[in-house]
Structure 1
Amino acid sequence: MTGAREGSRHVGVWIAAAADAVYAFASDQRNLERWAAGLADPALADVDVRFAPVNDFGVLDHVVTMPTGEEVYNPMRVIPAGDERCEVVFTLRRRPEMSDEDFEADARAVRADLETLRGLAEG
Structure 2
Amino acid sequence: MRSHHVSRVVSAEPEVVYDFASNVDNLSQWAAGLSRSDVIRDGDVLIVESPMGQVRVRFVDRNSFGILDHDVTLPSGTVVTNPVRVLAHPDGAEIVFTIRQLDLDDDEFARDIATVAADLDRLAAIVERRRPGSAPG
Larger % of helix: which?
A: 1
AA at the equivalent of 1:112: A
Q: CA deviation at 1:98?
A: 1.7
Aligned match of 1:47: 55
In structure 2, the gaps of 5 or more residues are 38-48, 130-137
TM-score by length of 2: 0.79
Alignment of 1:101-116 (within 5 A): 101-116=107-122
TM-score by length of 1: 0.87
Q: Percent identity?
A: 42
- Aligned with 2:78 (options 67, 70, 85): 70
Q: CA deviation at 1:81?
A: 2.0
- Aligned with 2:123 (options 112, 117, 121): 117
Distance across 2 between alignment mates of 1:110 and 1:58: 18
Question: Is 1:90 aligned to residue 85 of structure 2?
Answer: no
Q: CA deviation at 1:46?
A: 2.6
- Spell out structure 1 runs of 4+ moving beyond 4 A: none
Distance across 1 between alignment mates of 2:67 and 2:99: 15
> Greater relative contact order: 1 or 2 (C-alpha under 8 angstroms, separation 6 or more)?
1
